[in-house]
C-alpha cells in the first residue's frame, strides 16, 4: 500500500515545531553504503523554489551532522547554506542508514550525500546545456543557478528540471569538486539549532504537541524480572492499560497521568525476584564480575608471549556501570489510526526500531511509520527505543489519538541500559633502553551493544507484555574490546576479552569499551614511562611509528607548554596527558588535563586541551564542539559517575544519588584541529573520551603521588 505524505498529514495533523509534511510519495530508501549505486533522488530533492533538500538517515544528536551534510551538498552544487534544508531519519522517506552511532555519520551519510550531489551537479549541467543549447563546458554554477560563462540566461535548478526530480544512480566513479575550489567545506559554519537550544525554543521530541493529544505514564516493576500479580483500574482517567505485566495509565493531561501512575504504583503487587548481588565497594564489584562465568575471545596475538618473561609492571583498572544521564528523560508520541502506527521518537535508528516494533506488535512493517525527532541529550542506547515501544503499545490500546509517553527521572535512571562495568588487567616488560618488549592485556565486560536491531527481545516493554519475548536480549560483544589493542609499536602482544552476563541491563554508551580500555592503557603507559625514567611525551613518541600520531602529541606538548606559561595563577597545577587513535583506524586525539588540590585535598580539573586529527575537516567548528563536549563528559564520568544498586534494584534514581559534574565544575577547554584535506574524513565524536579519562587520572597522580586505578576518582557516599 502506497501512502502519500499528504495522506499522512491528514492523519497526523501539523506539529508545532516545523515538522509538517508535504505531498510527495514516500520513495524507497537508499542504501547507506557510499559505494552503492543509490539513486540521486533518494538523497536529494530540488524544491519548487529552487532550493535543495538533503535526505539523511542519520539523526541530529548534537554532533552537528545536519550542518555537515548540508555543507558538503552545498559545496558540490555551489549553493549557499541558506539554500539547503535537511530532512532526517524517517522510515520510507530517508535512506535506511541503520543507527546513528560509532562516529560513522560523516564517513557514511555525509560522503554519500557528497557523491549524490556531485552526480546531481553533472545531471543539472547536462540538462541545462540541452535547454540553453550550449556545450556543458560553457556553463557555470553559482548560488543554485546555472548560467553561461558570461552570466547570461541564468536558470534555477527547479527551472532546469521543469517539475521533474533528479533521477538516475550515483556512479561508482564520480568526479567530485576539486578541494582547491572549496568555499564551504573546511570552514567553521555554526549550527543553526544552537541559538534555538539556548533560547529554549521547541525543537525536541519532548516539545511536540498535537491537537487532542493525551498523556501516559508507565508503571515499571520494582525489580528486573518481577511479574505483575494484581492491579486495579485507576478511577477518573481515560484508561488503565494492563497487558500481562505491562502496566500504564492514559489521562487527559500530564499531571493526571503522573498522579494516576503514583496511585497505580502504590496499589500494584508484584512477584519476588532473585536478589542482585550485595556489594559495598567498587573493589567488591570488580571481584564479583571476575567471579562470573565468562566466554574468552582472543583479540590480538603478536610475537611470542609463550616464553618466560618477567613483567616490569602489573596493574588492574576498573570502570563502574555508568548511565547516559540524558537531560530530558526519554519521550515518544504514537498514533494508531486507519491501520497505520505512527511513531515520533529520538531513537538513533528509526528503521531497526520499526522492525522491532513490527515483531513486538505482530504488525506488517509497512504499517508502521517512524519519524526521528531530536532528543535532549544522548550518545548511545538509552530509553528512547523503549519509550517508543511503550507509546506503540498504548496507541494500539487506545487508537485514534496521539499519545505522549514521558518517562520520569527515576524511570530513566532505573531502567535505561547502562554502559557496562569493566575490569582491565595489564602487564608489560621493559628492556634496558626503556622500550616495551612484552604486553599482556585482559578485559572483562558485559555487552556494549544490545540495541533493538530488529529484535523485539531488546525492547524493555516486550519482556513484560501478555505474550512476552523472553529470549535473552542479544548483544554485540566486539564493542567491549574497542581500542583494547594498543596503537603503539610493541613486538610481543596478547590481548584477550572475557565476556560475562552481569547483573544490570547494559548496552551502547558513547565510545563503548574504548573509554575504559584507553583509561587503562594510557594510565599504564604513564606508569611505564615513570618506570623507564622517561618523560610521558617522550615515552609515547618512542613507541609510535605513525607520523600523524606523533604530530598530535607534539602539537599538544607545544600547546600545553605555552598555555601553562601564560597562566598567571597562584594554584599549583599538575598536568597529565594521554593519546589514542579511535578504533585504531579513525581520529587521532591527544588530551591533556591540569588539576589542583584544595586545602581539603579535593580534586579540581581546571582546564583540558586536545589536539585532534579527523582527516579532512568538513566543519572544524563541529569537530571542536564534539571534542570539547567529549572531554567535559569524560571528566564527569571519570570524577564522579557510577550506577549504584542494592539487592533489589537500582538506587541511583536522581541527580543526588547519581552524581554528575555541575556547570561550575566543568573544566575550561581548548581544542586544536589538524586539518588533513587530502585524507578521508573520519568521525570525531568518540575520540576524546578515553584519553581524557587517562589524562585526568595521570594529572591526579602528579598532584597526589597516589595512583587511582578504580573509577570514579571521587567516591560518592553510599
Of the listed ranges 32-36, 279-283, 664-668, the one predicted with least confidence: 32-36
**Residue-level pLDDT at 566:** 67
Q: Is pLDDT of 21 > 80? A: no
Cα–Cα dist 57/684, whole Å: 19
User: Which among 714, 299, 322, 313 is positioned nearest to 516, based on CA atoms?
Assistant: 322
pLDDT of residue 439: 97
pLDDT digits (tens, 9 = 90+) for 223-277: 999 999 999 999 999 999 999 999 999 999 999 999 999 999 999 999 999 999 9
pLDDT at residue 589, as a whole number: 98
Q: For position 191, what pLDDT does the model report?
A: 87
Residue 15 pLDDT: 38
For the four alpha carbons of 4, 7, 12 and 14, in that order, the dihedral sign comes to positive
Q: Using the predicted structure, report yes or no on whether residue 5 has a pLDDT greater than 50.
A: no
Is the Cα dihedral 487, 488, 493, 494 positive or negative? Answer: negative
pLDDT at 274: 93
Q: Are 234 and 256 in contact (CB under 8 A)?
A: no
Comparison of pLDDT for 546 and 4, the residue scoring more: 546
In this predicted structure, what is the pLDDT of residue 64?
A: 86
Q: Give the residue from 167, 145, 147 showing the smallest Cα distance to 83.
A: 145
Looking at every residue in the chain, the average pLDDT score rounds to: 91
More confident: 516 or 17: 516
Q: pLDDT band at 2, cuts 50/70/90?
A: very low
Per-residue CA distances from 430 to 310, 427, 482 (Å) = 9, 10, 25
Using a 10 angstrom Cβ sphere, with 0-12 exposed, 13-18 middle and 19 or more buried, the burial of residue 131 is middle
Query: pLDDT tens digits for 146-172?
Result: 999 888 889 999 999 999 999 889 988
Q: Distances in Å between the alpha carbon of 185 and those of 74, 75, 79, 197, 672? A: 9, 7, 12, 25, 17
Give a three-class secondary structure readout of 685-696.
Answer: CCCCHHHHHHHH
Q: Which three cell numbers stand for residue 223?
A: 525489580
Angle at the Cα of 32 from the Cα atoms of 375 and 514, rounded to 5 degrees = 60
Could you count the other beta carbons within 10 Å of the beta carbon of residue 466? 9
**Average pLDDT, stretch 116-137?**
94
Q: How far apart are CA 104 and CA 99, in angstroms?
A: 9
Yes or no: say if 410 and 378 are a contact pair by the CB < 8 Å rule: no
Question: Does position 23 have pLDDT exceeding 50, yes or no?
Answer: no
Q: What percent of the chain has pLDDT over 70?
A: 94
Q: Is 474 exposed, middle or buried (0-12, 13-18, 19+ CB in 10 A)?
A: middle
pLDDT-based confidence at residue 34 (cuts at 50, 70, 90): very low
Contact 264, 247 (CB under 8 A): yes
Assigned C-alpha cell, 58:
542519520
Neighbour count for residue 500 (Cβ, 10 Å): 20
pLDDT at 321 (0 to 100): 98
**Cα dihedral 113, 509, 590, 441 in deg (nearest 10):** -120
Averaged pLDDT for residues 281-286: 94
* Res 537: pLDDT: 98
C-beta separation of 491 from 440 below 8 A? no
Is the omega angle on the peptide bond into residue 502 within 30 degrees of 0, that is, cis?
Answer: no
**Beta strand ranges found along 220-356 (DSSP E):** 228-230, 239-243, 246-251, 269-270, 295-302, 313-319, 331-337, 340-345
DSSP 8-state class, residue 509? B
Query: Three cell numbers at 306?
Result: 609463550
Residue pair 84/74 in contact (Cβ under 8 Å)? The answer is: yes
What does the alpha-carbon distance between residue 531 and residue 539 come to, in Å, rounded to a whole number?
10
**571 or 285: which leads in pLDDT:** 285
How deeply is 118 buried, as exposed, middle or buried, from its count of CB atoms within 10 A (0-12, 13-18, 19+)? buried
3-state secondary structure of 196: helix
Q: Is 135 exposed, middle or buried (0-12, 13-18, 19+ CB in 10 A)?
A: exposed
56-65, 189-198, 295-304, range with greatest mean pLDDT: 295-304
Least confident of 108-117, 469-478, 498-507, 580-589: 469-478
Locate 135 and state its grid cell: 556545450
- Full 3-state SS string of 417-438: CEECCEEEEEEEEECCCCCEEE
Q: In which residue are the cell numbers 564542539 written?
A: 625
Q: Which residue has the cell 549553493?
A: 79
Report the SS3 class of residue 708. coil
DSSP 108: I
Domains and CATH numbers, the chain: 31-199 (3.30.365.10), 205-273+325-415 (3.30.365.10), 282-321+420-499 (3.30.365), 522-704 (3.30.365.10)
Query: Using CA atoms, how far apart are residues 177 and 183, in angstroms rounded to an integer?
Result: 11
Asked if residues 36 and 18 have their Cβ atoms less than 8 Å apart, the reply is no
pLDDT(560) > 90: yes
C-alpha cell belonging to residue 49: 523554489
pLDDT of residue 570: 59
Task: State pLDDT tens for residues 590-644.
Answer: 999 999 998 888 899 999 999 999 999 999 999 999 999 999 999 999 999 999 9
Give tens-digit pLDDT for 312-344. Answer: 999 999 999 999 999 899 999 999 999 999 999
* DSSP category for residue 599: T
Structure confidence at residue 716 (pLDDT): 75
Q: In what order do the strands lie in the sheet with 588-597?
A: 574-581, 588-597, 603-613, 668-673
Question: How much is the pLDDT for 198?
Answer: 87
Between the CA of residue 577 and those of 520, 569, 623, 691, 699, what are the distances in Å? Answer: 13, 21, 20, 8, 7
Q: Which residues neighbour 496 within 8 Å (Cβ) at sequence distance 6 or greater?
A: 296, 297, 298, 299, 441, 442, 443
Angle, vertex CA 307, rays to CA 303 and CA 313, nearest 5: 85
pLDDT over 80 (residue 438): yes
Looking only at the bridges linking them, the beta strands covering 246-251 and 313-319 are: unpaired
Task: Report the candidate in 445, 449, 450 with the shortest Cα–Cα distance to residue 497.
Answer: 445
CB 508 within 8 A of CB 381: yes
Per-residue pLDDT band for 38 (boundaries 50, 70, 90) equals: confident
Identify the pLDDT of residue 569: 61
Cα torsion 556, 676, 380, 501 to 10°: value is -70
Confidence (pLDDT) at 20: 33
448: which 3 cell numbers? Answer: 556494549
Report CA Rg, the chain: 27
Q: Which residues of 214-244 are buried (b: 16+ CB within 10 A; e: fewer)?
A: bbbbbbbbbbbebebeebeebeebbbbbbbe
The confidence band for 717, taking pLDDT boundaries of 50, 70 and 90, is low
Amino acid at each position: 500500500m502506497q501512502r502519500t505524505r499528504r495522506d499522512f498529514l491528514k492523519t497526523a495533523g501539523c506539529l508545532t515545531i516545523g515538522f509538517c509534511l508535504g505531498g510527495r510519495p514516500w520513495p524507497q530508501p537508499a542504501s547507506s553504503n557510499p559505494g552503492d549505486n543509490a539513486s540521486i533522488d533518494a538523497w536529494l530533492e530540488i524544491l519548487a523554489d529552487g532550493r535543495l533538500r538533503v535526505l539523511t538517515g542519520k539523526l541530529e544528536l548534537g554532533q552537528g551532522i545536519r550542518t555537515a551534510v548540508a555543507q558538503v551538498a552545498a559545496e558540490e552544487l555551489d549553493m549557499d547554506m541558506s539554500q539547503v534544508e535537511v530532512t532526517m531519519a524517517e522510515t520510507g522517506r530517508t535512506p535506511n542508514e541503520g543507527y546513528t552511532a560509532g562516529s560513522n555519520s560523516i564517513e557514511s551519510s555525509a560522503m554519500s550525500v557528497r557523491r549524490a550531489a556531485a552526480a546531481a551537479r553533472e545531471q543539472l549541467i547536462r540538462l541545462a546545456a540541452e535547454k540553453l543549447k550550449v556545450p556543458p563546458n560553457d556553463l557555470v554554477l553559482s548560488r543554485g543557478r546555472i548560467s553561461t560563462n558570461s552570466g547570461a540566461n541564468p536558470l534555477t535548478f527547479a527551472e532546469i528540471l521543469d517539475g521533474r526530480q533528479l533521477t538516475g544512480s550515483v556512479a561508482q566513479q564520480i568526479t567530485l569538486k576539486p578541494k582547491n575550489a572549496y568555499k564551504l567545506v573546511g570552514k567553521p559554519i555554526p549550527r543553526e539549532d544552537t541559538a534555538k537550544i539556548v533560547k529554549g525554543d521547541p525543537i525536541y521530541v519532548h516539545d511536540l504537541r498535537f491537537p487532542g493529544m493525551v498523556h501516559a505514564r508507565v508503571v515499571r516493576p520494582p525489580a528486573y524480572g518481577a511479574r505483575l500479580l494484581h492491579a486495579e483500574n485507576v478511577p477518573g482517567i481515560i484508561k488503565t492499560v494492563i497487558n500481562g505485566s505491562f502496566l500504564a495509565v492514559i489521562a487527559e493531561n500530564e499531571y493526571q497521568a503522573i498522579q494516576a501512575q503514583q496511585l497505580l504504583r502504590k496499589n500494584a503487587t508484584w512477584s519476588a525476584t532473585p536478589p542482585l548481588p550485595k556489594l559495598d565497594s567498587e573493589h567488591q564489584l570488580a571481584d564479583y564480575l571476575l567471579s562470573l562465568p565468562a566466554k574468552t575471545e582472543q583479540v590480538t596475538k603478536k610475537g611470542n608471549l609463550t616464553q618466560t618473561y618477567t613483567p616490569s609492571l602489573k596493574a588492574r583498572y576498573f570502570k563502574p556501570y555508568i548511565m547516559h544521564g540524558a537531560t530530558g528523560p526519554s519521550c515518544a508520541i504514537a498514533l494508531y489510526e486507519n491501520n497505520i502506527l505512527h511513531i515520533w521518537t529520538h531513537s538513533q535508528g528509526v528503521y531497526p526500531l520499526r522492525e522491532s516494533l513490527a515483531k513486538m506488535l505482530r504488525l506488517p512493517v509497512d504499517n508502521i511509520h517512524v519519524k526521528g525527532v531530536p532528543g535532549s541529550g544522548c550518545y548511545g542506547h538509552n530509553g528512547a527505543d523503549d519509550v517508543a515501544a511503550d507509546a506503540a503499545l498504548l496507541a494500539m490500546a487506545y487508537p485514534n489519538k496521539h499519545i505522549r509517553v514521558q518517562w520520569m527521572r527515576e524511570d530513566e535512571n532505573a531502567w535505561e541500559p547502562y554502559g557496562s562495568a569493566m575490569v582491565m588487567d595489564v602487564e608489560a616488560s621493559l628492556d634496558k633502553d626503556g622500550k616495551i618488549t612484552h604486553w599482556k592485556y585482559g578485559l572483562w565486560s558485559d555487552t556494549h551493544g544490545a540495541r533493538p536491531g530488529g529484535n523485539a527481545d531488546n525492547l524493555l516493554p516486550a519482556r513484560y507484555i501478555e505474550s512476552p519475548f523472553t529470549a535473552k536480549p542479544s548483544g554485540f560483544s566486539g564493542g567491549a574490546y574497542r581500542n583494547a589493542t594498543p596503537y603503539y609499536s610493541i613486538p610481543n602482544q596478547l590481548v584477550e576479552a572475557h565476556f560475562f552476563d552481569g547483573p544490570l541491563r547494559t548496552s551502547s554508551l558513547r565510545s563503548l569499551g574504548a573509554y575504559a580500555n584507553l583509561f587503562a592503557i594510557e594510565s599504564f603507559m604513564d606508569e611505564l614511562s615513570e618506570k623507564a625514567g622517561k618523560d610521558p611525551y617522550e615515552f609515547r613518541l618512542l613507541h609510535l611509528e605513525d607520523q600523524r600520531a606523533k604530530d598530535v602529541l607534539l602539537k599538544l606538548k607545544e600547546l600545553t607548554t605555552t598555555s601553562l606559561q601564560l597562566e598567571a595563577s597562584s594554584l599549583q597545577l599538575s598536568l597529565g596527558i594521554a593519546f589514542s587513535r579511535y578504533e585504531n583506524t579513525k581520529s587521532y586525539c591527544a588530551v591533556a588535563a591540569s588539576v589542583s588540590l584544595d586545602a581539603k585535598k579535593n580534586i579540581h580539573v581546571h582546564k583540558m586541551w586536545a589536539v585532534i586529527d579527523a582527516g579532512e575537516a568538513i566543519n572544524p567548528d563541529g569537530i571542536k564542539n564534539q571534542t570539547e563536549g567529549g572531554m567535559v563528559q569524560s571528566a564527569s564520568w571519570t570524577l564522579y559517575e557510577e550506577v549504584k544498586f542494592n539487592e533489589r534494584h537500582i538506587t541511583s534514581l536522581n541527580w543526588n544519588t547519581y552524581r554528575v559534574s555541575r556547570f561550575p565544575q566543568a573544566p575550561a577547554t581548548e581544542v586544536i584541529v589538524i586539518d588533513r584535506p587530502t585524507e578521508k574524513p573520519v568521525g570525531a565524536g568518540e575520540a576524546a573520551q578515553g584519553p581524557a579519562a587517562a589524562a585526568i587520572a595521570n594529572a591526579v597522580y602528579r598532584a597526589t603521588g597516589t595512583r587511582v586505578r578504580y573509577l570514579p576518582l571521587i567516591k560518592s557516599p553510599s
